[in-house]
C-alpha cells in the first residue's frame, strides 16, 4: 500500500470544480441574505404597535364624540368589542430579520420544475 503524498493531490480540473462549487454556494447565500434584507426593509415597521393602536383609538374617540354623545365607559365597551371582532382577521406577520431569512431560504430551496425559460436559465447558473 502506497502512502499518500502531496504531489498526488487533486488535479487542476478538480480544483476548478471545487472553486466553482464554493463560488456558487457563496453566491447562493449572498442572494438569500440580500433578498431577506430587502424583505425586512420593505415589510418591517418601526412604529410600535401599541402606539399605533393608541393613536387609532384616540382618533376613533374624537370621531365618535363629534357624532354621538357617549361616556368614556360606553366608548371603552364599544372599542373593546370592535377590537375583539377585528383582531381575528387583521393579525399581521411581524417581519424580523430571522423570519425574512427563513422565508427567502424556503422560497429559494423549494423543489419544483421551472416552467418558464427565463427561470430555467436562472437555475442553470
1-59 tens-digit pLDDT:
555 555 667 788 888 988 999 999 999 889 888 988 888 888 776 666 667 777 877 78
pTM of the model: 0.47
- Range from 36-40, 76-80, 85-89, 96-100 that averages highest in pLDDT: 36-40
Position 91 confidence tier, pLDDT thresholds 50, 70, 90: low
Q: What was the pLDDT predicted at 20?
A: 92
In the chain, what are the domain boundaries? Answer: 9-44+96-125, 47-88
CA–CA dist 82, 85 (Å, integer): 5
The answer to whether the Cα torsion of 123, 112, 106, 90 is positive or negative is positive
Amino acid at each position: 500500500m502506497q502512502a499518500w503524498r502531496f504531489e498526488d493531490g487533486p488535479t487542476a480540473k478538480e480544483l476548478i470544480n471545487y472553486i466553482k462549487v464554493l463560488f456558487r454556494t457563496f453566491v447562493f447565500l449572498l442572494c438569500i441574505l440580500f433578498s431577506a434584507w430587502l424583505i425586512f426593509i420593505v415589510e418591517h415597521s418601526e412604529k410600535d404597535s401599541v402606539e399605533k393602536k393608541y393613536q387609532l383609538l384616540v382618533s376613533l374617540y374624537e370621531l365618535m364624540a363629534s357624532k354621538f354623545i357617549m361616556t368614556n365607559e360606553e366608548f371603552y365597551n364599544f372599542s373593546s368589542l370592535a377590537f375583539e371582532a377585528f383582531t381575528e382577521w387583521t393579525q399581521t406577520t411581524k417581519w424580523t430579520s430571522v423570519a425574512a431569512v427563513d422565508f427567502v431560504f424556503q422560497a429559494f430551496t423549494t423543489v419544483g420544475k421551472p416552467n418558464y425559460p427565463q427561470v430555467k436559465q436562472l437555475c442553470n447558473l
